[in-house]
Every structure is written in structure tokens, then in C-alpha cells.
């Protein structure tokens, strides 16, 4: 079903380029864009600008496929650019590989009308019409799925217009395991910025006590928590990004670009000195008073507590997703019940644990190295919208057992010792033994959650790339379970086959 056509005025060539950028940030594999219009209407201009936007290369050679009929591009999105003006027979489309192009990428088709009714189905039709003085109009007709994506892209463009960046260049930066996406924004003047696109997430189905998973696990539902925590971190001397513009209702933020360097070397291995600064940063954070009610433009943000209910719903991801995937069978009632009982006892022991602001995803993808800075300012912090008040050991475990990067046991011990020494140097009352016990508990809790999440991303969301991290996380689990306080839990992990029996 197609919605009413969307008409867009293109007063000049720059407007066509901006339209191409907006389209490039809305398309996804399987989309077929059909460009209609007379000779000189601007079809090739739009196609060329769109391909260059996806490539992030304004000088990319984009030859017209008038004689070859198709030209392919291996970019962030695979694009097949068809020009059917010289198509002799619609059946030739099969030989040109249209269906194959749409399996893994996007098809961009000029003169689709030459193929009779091959493009009469669910395609994205863009009709370009030339007016006087080089002005054009583009009329977009498509199904609701694409129009929702395209309208969101245009909303982001309007946000930039209102922020004084009407002609800023937009480029895809990344998506993550959530529904958020990021763009790099290059204004006509000034430094690049990052646009965070985080529309309010709808509640999922209730799964317990009438609440969805996101509410039980205290996941941020809009951008207010990000802004609140960002401002608190900056007030306390940490390098969170400055916020240049925001629309809290739409879920759009324009934030400082802290850079692209990381804690890893060019081969993707951890750089020990950078990870050491990351644990020093945590030690400094854990010396700060707990945040109270944080205000953002007259709205209150109460930082939630990392309570046993939230911890339990997370560890159940292991029995709901990971174990059935691993074993090929449902988890028995006996194993599930014992798992919950073991964790309930451990959660009770956490009641007396030291509490701090938990950033929650404190690991290499969210830690930015800034070579030109000094002290803690060298470490940029992002992705903390799900922050809670909980055991201080949680974030220490998050970075010392980085889910995306293998941290060898020797480096883990070095980092943990650095954190402990830092805390003890400023607080004689710091209880190292109690901390190491809580560290082990939170490390296994986090790893159990991540094992379940990564399998869920594959099984439910069609994102199999995360499965490559599972062996690393399984090893982390085995390491942490060596703590004497976790012996009963280790027996359970051994019985279900996640951890091997030690000889």
C-alpha cells in the first residue's frame, strides 16, 4: 500500500544534493529506487549524488551506465545503478541481476518505464520534473515502511536547518545494537559534529508484573537521560560531549565529535596504557557523590537504582536465549529454578556493596582516546543513557572484561590492581576483598546478560555478527567463576556445559 505522494521543491543543484543525502540515510538493503523523468530532468544528477553520499566521497567516479546498463558499487550499502534507456527486452533484467542486487543491497534504476510493468510493485518511485531557471520538483511515492524512514531523515534535516546548519553535509556514521543511529555532520564552517538519532522507543509487550523488559531493566526510553547524565559528567570534570542542539521530544541531539581514536591499536588489540586510564577514570568517578534528581529543561530525571529485579531480568537472557541456542533444547525447569535461586542469594549480598553511578556500557566502543589532551580529559565518554546507581564494580568489570576485545588474564589483573591501588590511595576504608568479590559477581552477571543479548540479536533481529564474540565472553565467565564465593554458581555453569570441569 502506497501513501499519498510527497512533493519536494528543488530550487537548485544544492537542493538536489541535499535530497540525495536524505535519501542515502533512509535506504536499506532491498530498496528499489525508480527514477522517472524526461531527458535533462536530473535523474543522473540525483543518482550520482546519492551514490557519492553513501560512499562519503564527493569525487567518486560515477559513470553513466547507459551502454553497460548496470554499474555496481561495493560501499557501506551495495548499490546497483541501472540505466534502462537502451534496454531492448524487459527479460534482460534477469541477466542484469536485478533480483540478486536487491537481496543484499539497493537498486537505483533510471528509465524504469522501459521495463514495462517490472517495477509496478513495491518500489520507491521518484518523479523528477524540470521547471524554469533550473528549478525542479521531486515527487516521491512509496510504501509506508520507506516513507517512515524517509520522513524521519527529513525531520533530521529540518532539525539541522533550525540549528543554523541548513547546508550541512550528512554522512552515516554507525548504528548500534539498539534502535539509535548516528551521523557525522559537516557544517559549512566549524568542526564536525555528531547527530544522535534516538526516537522514543515504544514499550514492548509486558513480560512481568505488567511491565515490558525495557522498564524492568531501566533502559532509557528517550534522550532525556543522556542529556542529564552528560551534563552531570561534564560538571564533575569528565569528558562527555558538549551538546550543541537538542530536540527532546523528537529524540535528536547534536553533540560534540570527540574523535575516532580508541583504546585499541591498528590491529584491534588493547593498548594497556589506555585501558589503565579508563580504570583511573572509573576510580575518579567512584569518588564522586551520587547524583540526585537531575533536571533537563524543566524535566526531572531520577537516575534509577540497579535493583535485583533489573539484574534478574538481565541474567534470565542466558536461560531464555543463549542456553537454548547452545544446546538446541529448552532449559529444564530444574536448571532454570536453581539458576534464579543462586542469583537471588548473590543479589542479596550486593545490598551492602559500594554504590556509584554505573555508566553501564563502559567498554572500548564507548571510550574515545584523545591524544592531544592530558589527564582524564584524554578519555572521551559516550553511550551512557542507561546509567543507573549500582555496584561500583560493574563498570570496572565492563572494561576489564571488554565484550568486544579480548583482554588477557594478565592485563585484566593489571587493570584491576591499578583500580584497587587508586582507590586505596585516596580512601583508607576501601575494602579490597569485598570489592573483588562484588567484581566477580558483577562480571558473571554482565557476561550472562551479554551472552543472551548477542544470541537474541542473531535469532530475533537478524544480526549474526555478534556471535563471534561469544567464545571470548564464555572465557570471561570461566575466569570470574573461580572466585570462591561463586563456587555454587560455577557448579551450575559446569553442569549445563558452559564451563568445563577443571582437572
Neighbour order of strands in the sheet with 193-197: 169-175, 181-186, 193-197, 252-256, 243-247
Cell of 141: 511515492
HSE-CB for 169 with a 13 A CA cutoff? 16
Beta carbons of 126 and 47 less than 8 angstroms apart: no
d(CA 280, CA 209): 40
Average pLDDT of the residues of the chain: 94
Beta bridge partners of 102: none
Pairing of strands 293-296, 136-141: unpaired
Give the pLDDT confidence of 377-408 residue by residue, as tens digits.
Answer: 999 999 999 999 999 999 999 999 999 999 99
Distance CA(183)–CA(196), nearest Å, equals: 7
Who wins on pLDDT, 394 or 89?
A: 394
Q: Categorize the per-residue pLDDT at 93 as very low, low, confident or very high, splitting at 50, 70 and 90.
A: confident
In whole angstroms, give the CA distance from residue 289 to residue 154. Answer: 42
Query: pTM of the prediction?
Result: 0.92
The band of 503, judged by pLDDT with boundaries at 50, 70 and 90, is very low
Band (178; pLDDT cuts 50, 70, 90): low
Q: Across-strand partners of 300? A: 295
Position 94 scores a pLDDT of 83
Per-residue CA distances from 223 to 135, 219, 229, 254, 294 (Å)? 38, 11, 10, 11, 13
Is it the case that residue 207 has pLDDT exceeding 80? yes
| Residue 366 grid coordinates | 564507548
pLDDT band at 22 (very low <50, low <70, confident <90, very high): very high
The answer to which of 24-38, 91-105, 332-346 has the lowest mean pLDDT is 91-105
Q: Is there a contact between 385 and 371 (Cβ–Cβ < 8 Å)?
A: no
**Residue whose C-alpha cell reads 540505466 in the numeric block:** 83
Q: Where are the alpha helices (DSSP H) in 180-241?
A: 213-216, 224-235
pLDDT tens for each residue of 58-78: 999 999 999 999 999 999 999
Q: Where are the beta strands (DSSP E) in 104-178?
A: 105-110, 124-130, 136-141, 169-175
| Three-class SS state of 208 | strand
In this prediction, residues 19-41 reach a mean pLDDT of 95
The DSSP letter of residue 113 is G
Q: What are phi and psi of 43, to 5 degrees?
A: -65, -50
Residue 337: pLDDT band by 50, 70, 90 thresholds? very high
Are 192 and 184 a contacting pair, CB within 8 Å? yes
Question: Residue 135 — pLDDT band, cuts 50, 70, 90?
Answer: confident
Residue 168, pLDDT above cutoff 60? yes
* Residue 18 confidence (pLDDT) above 70: yes
User: In a 3-state reduction of DSSP, which class is residue 111?
Assistant: coil
Q: So what's the pLDDT on residue 133?
A: 74
> If you average pLDDT over residues 397-424, what whole number do you get?
98
Query: For 91, what's the count of Cα atoms within 13 Å in the CB-facing half-sphere?
Result: 0
What pLDDT band is residue 53 in, cutting at 50, 70 and 90? very high
For residue 353 the three cell numbers come to 556493596
Instruction: Name beta bridge partners: 107.
Output: 32, 80
Q: Quote the pLDDT of residue 358.
A: 98
298-319 confidence digits (pLDDT tens): 999 999 999 999 999 999 999 9
How would you class 373 by CB atoms within 10 Å of its CB: exposed for 0-12, middle for 13-18, buried for 19 or more? middle
High-pLDDT (> 70) share of the chain, %: 98
Per-residue pLDDT band for 130 (boundaries 50, 70, 90) equals confident
* pLDDT of 141: 95
Helix (H/G/I), strand (E/B), else coil: 447: helix
pLDDT of res. 350: 97
Residues 6+ apart with CB under 8 A from 147: 3, 6, 140
Question: Which pLDDT belongs to residue 202?
Answer: 75
Q: Mean pLDDT, to the nearest integer, of 99-113?
A: 93
User: What residues have CB less than 8 Å from 265, skipping those under 6 apart?
Assistant: 271
Mean pLDDT of 444-471: 96
Where helices occur in 259-407 by DSSP H, the ranges are 272-285, 308-317, 323-327, 333-349, 393-400
Q: Measure CA 114 to chain center.
A: 41
At 219 the pLDDT is: 92
Q: What cell does 444 get?
A: 558473571
Handedness of CA 394, 399, 403, 408 (dihedral sign): negative
Amino acid at each position: 500500500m502506497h501513501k499519498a505522494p510527497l512533493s519536494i521543491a528543488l530550487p537548485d543543484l544544492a537542493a538536489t544534493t541535499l535530497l540525495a543525502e536524505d535519501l542515502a540515510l533512509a535506504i536499506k538493503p532491498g530498496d528499489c529506487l525508480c527514477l522517472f523523468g524526461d531527458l535533462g530532468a536530473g535523474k543522473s544528477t540525483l543518482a550520482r549524488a546519492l551514490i557519492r553520499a553513501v560512499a562519503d566521497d564527493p569525487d567518486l567516479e560515477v559513470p553513466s551506465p547507459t551502454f553497460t546498463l548496470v554499474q555496481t558499487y561495493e560501499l557501506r550499502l551495495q548499490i546497483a545503478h541501472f540505466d534502462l534507456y537502451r534496454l531492448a527486452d524487459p527479460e534482460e533484467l534477469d541477466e542484469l541481476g536485478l533480483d540478486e542486487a536487491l537481496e543484499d543491497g539497493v537498486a537505483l534504476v533510471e528509465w524504469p518505464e522501459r521495463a514495462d510493468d517490472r517495477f509496478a510493485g513495491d518500489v520507491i518511485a521518484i518523479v523528477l520534473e524540470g521547471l524554469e531557471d533550473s528549478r525542479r520538483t521531486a515527487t516521491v511515492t512509496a510504501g509506508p515502511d520507506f516513507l517512515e524512514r524517509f520522513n524521519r531523515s527529513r525531520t533530521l534535516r529540518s532539525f539541522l536547518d533550525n540549528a543554523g546548519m541548513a547546508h550541512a553535509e550528512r554522512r552515516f556514521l554507525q548504528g548500534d545494537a539498539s534502535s539509535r543511529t548516528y551521523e557525522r555532520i559537516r557544517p559549512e564552517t566549524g568542526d564536525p559534529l555528531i547527530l544522535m538519532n534516538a526516537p522514543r522507543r515504544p514499550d514492548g509487550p509486558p513480560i512481568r508484573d505488567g511491565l515490558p523488559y525495557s522498564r524492568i531493566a531501566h533502559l532509557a526510553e528517550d534522550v532525556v537521560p543522556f542529556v542529564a547524565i552528560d551534563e552531570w559528567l561534564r560538571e564533575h570534570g569528565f569528558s562527555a560531549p558538549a551538546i550543541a542542539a537538542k530536540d527532546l521530544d523528537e529524540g535528536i541531539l547534536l553533540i560534540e565529535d570527540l574523535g575516532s581514536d580508541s583504546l585499541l591499536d591498528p590491529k584491534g588489540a588493547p593498548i594497556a596504557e589506555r585501558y589503565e586510564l579508563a580504570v583511573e577514570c572509573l576510580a575518579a568517578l567512584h569518588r564522586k557523590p551520587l547524583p540526585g534528581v537531575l533536571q533537563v529543561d524543566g524535566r526531572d530525571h531520577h537516575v534509577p537504582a540497579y535493583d535485583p529485579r533489573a539484574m534478574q531480568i538481565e541474567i534470565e537472557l542466558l536461560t531464555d536465549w543463549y542456553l537454548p541456542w547452545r544446546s538446541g533444547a529448552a532449559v529444564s525447569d530444574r536448571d532454570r529454578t536453581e539458576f534464579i535461586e543462586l542469583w537471588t542469594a548473590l543479589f542479596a549480598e550486593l545490598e551492602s556493596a559500594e554504590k556509584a553511578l554505573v555508566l553501564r556500557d563502559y567498554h572500548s566502543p564507548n571510550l574515545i582516546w584523545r591524544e592531544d589532551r592530558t589527564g582524564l580529559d584524554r578519555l572521551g565518554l559516550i553511550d551512557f543513557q542507561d546509567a543507573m546507581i549500582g555496584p561500583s564494580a560493574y563498570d570496572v568489570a565492563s572494561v576489564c572484561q571488554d565484550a568486544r576485545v579480548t583482554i588477557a588474564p594478565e592485563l585484566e589483573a593489571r587493570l584491576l590492581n591499578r583500580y584497587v591501588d587508586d582507590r586505596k590511595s585516596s580512601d583508607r576504608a576501601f575494602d579490597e576483598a569485598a570489592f573483588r568479590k562484588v567484581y566477580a559477581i558483577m562480571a558473571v552477571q554482565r557476561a550472562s546478560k551479554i551472552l543472551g543479548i548477542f544470541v537474541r540479536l542473531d535469532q530475533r533481529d537478524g544480526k549474526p555478527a555478534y556471535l563471534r564474540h561469544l567464545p571470548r565472553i564464555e572465557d570471561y565467565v570461566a575466569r570470574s567463576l573461580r572466585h570462591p564465593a561463586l563456587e555454587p554458581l560455577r557448579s551450575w555453569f559446569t553442569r549445563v556445559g558452559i564451563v568445563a570441569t577443571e582437572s
